[in-house]
Amino acid sequence: MERQIKKILVANRGVPAVRVMHTCRDRRIPTTAVYSSPDRLAQHVFMADSALLIGEAPPIESYLNMGNMIDAALHSKSDAVHPGWGFLAENAAFARMVIDAGLIWIGPPPAAMELMGDKIRSKEIARRANVPVIPGIDNVTSIDEIKKWLEKEKVGFPIMIKASAGGGKGMVKVENKDQLAHSFNQARSEALKSFGDDKVLVEKYIERGKHIEVQVVADEHGNVIHLFERECTIQRRNQKIIEEAPSPSIDEDLRTEICLTAVRLMREIGYSSAGTVEFIFDSTTKRFYFLEVNTRLQVEHGITELITGLDIVGIMLDVAAGKPLPFKQSDIRPNRHALEVRINAEDPKTFSPSFGTVTRLQIPQGPGVRIASGVYEGADIPPYYDSLAMLLMTAGADREDAIRVMDRAISRNLRIEGIKTLAPRASFTCTAGIMI
């Protein structure tokens, strides 16, 4: 049954909030922004048709305050909520609160979010769907369990200890048995601090691994379609820095196999809306393994939009309104190559956050350039939130062309002063298939 969306509360800030609002403007759907006290002059506040104070600076009092978020939606007479990415975007309890309040949740079903929100349960479902998973053990509570697994399965170091409840945090690589005790305690501590859950799992570490993820969209009518893959191998501290689509690391046969595998998994869990299935690709053995499902809009979705010509946020709105996907798998024909770099407000030498006022901002322009920005000249970047200031994307007829456009955009046209960023001073070049 189709539902009409008349006004959307965007339950986020900065880059993700602005991104969602652009599509809403295209659709002529009014938006409501929420903001914390230090964000009252933030770009997403100016972008929206109305804005409401959600709380004080700490995220738990503002952007993670589910009750205040629901009250803001009802007070603003919004009838739908889009969570963007980060904060409450993968919180199944919040999704249920939105639905229980009589509002439209622009995202996947809460049940699917719960299934995929736990790495251990998601791996069990992946096995059931005949999706390959990395050799490992789940629900690890002691170092002795790890030692027995290593001996029984003849698994050598390195291994990876991961938090069960989330991604990016609570992940520790173990190089040898002498590091095992310290790494195990570190992973559990980080998991508890980041996700409130110290459950961990252990996996064989894939040397020379490539991070490949498949963008999937699905509707409430049983249609599940992939929009091909992205590669996000270049990371720091398990956080992506550079993304590209399509992946230069796989051939057409592997591309078909990995994309159809992602679709099969999403069908298994009854998914709808936009989501991403992440894999690790072993470039030595040419095998891929399931990592996790991100049950939300991905930061790097823009490069998939560049190569397919689709608006993924727009697809999310249509699916939330009960509409079927307007295309078939055979209609999706990527014909470009695209790159994305994350311009974080960080010291490039230490990756420490760099906050303050943007005293000068020159945005790259020209053919093949797309910017998703959460700041403007004169804006303050507060010390309380994610350091992402801007996403810089480029597209070209092929990979070399996209790199040339990125070189022009990031090294000749981009200027940010007042804060330190990850933007390099040198040009992008391509050496042995690795962007540097």
Q: Annotated active-site positions, please?
A: 296
Largest CA distance in the chain: 61
Q: From CA 17, how far away is CA 189, in angstroms rounded?
A: 31
Contact 200, 137 (CB under 8 A): no
Q: How far is CA 57 from CA 7, 39, 45, 166, 184, in A?
A: 26, 8, 15, 24, 33
96 burial type by CB count under 10 A (0-12 exposed, 13-18 middle, 19+ buried): middle
d(CA 304, CA 225): 13
> How many alpha carbons lie under 13 Å from residue 229 in its C-beta half-sphere?
28
Q: What are the phi and psi torsion angles at 44 (to 5°)?
A: -65, -25
Q: Which residues is 81 bridged to in the sheet?
A: 9, 105
- Both structure tokens of 416: 């940010």
3-state secondary structure of 96: helix
Tell me which residue has tokens 């995220």: 59
Burial class (CB in 10 A: 0-12, 13-18, 19+), 145: middle
Distance CA 116, CA 135 (A): 19
Phi, psi of 369 (to 5 degrees): -110, 135
Q: Is the dihedral of CA 381, 45, 304, 3 positive or negative?
A: positive
Bond prior to 246 in cis (omega within 30° of 0): yes
Residue 156: how many CB atoms within 10 A of its CB?
A: 10
Encoded tokens for 53:
């104070």
Instruction: List Cα–Cα distances, 279 to 133, 209, 240, 276, 288, in angstroms.
Output: 9, 10, 14, 10, 6
CB 88 within 8 A of CB 10: no
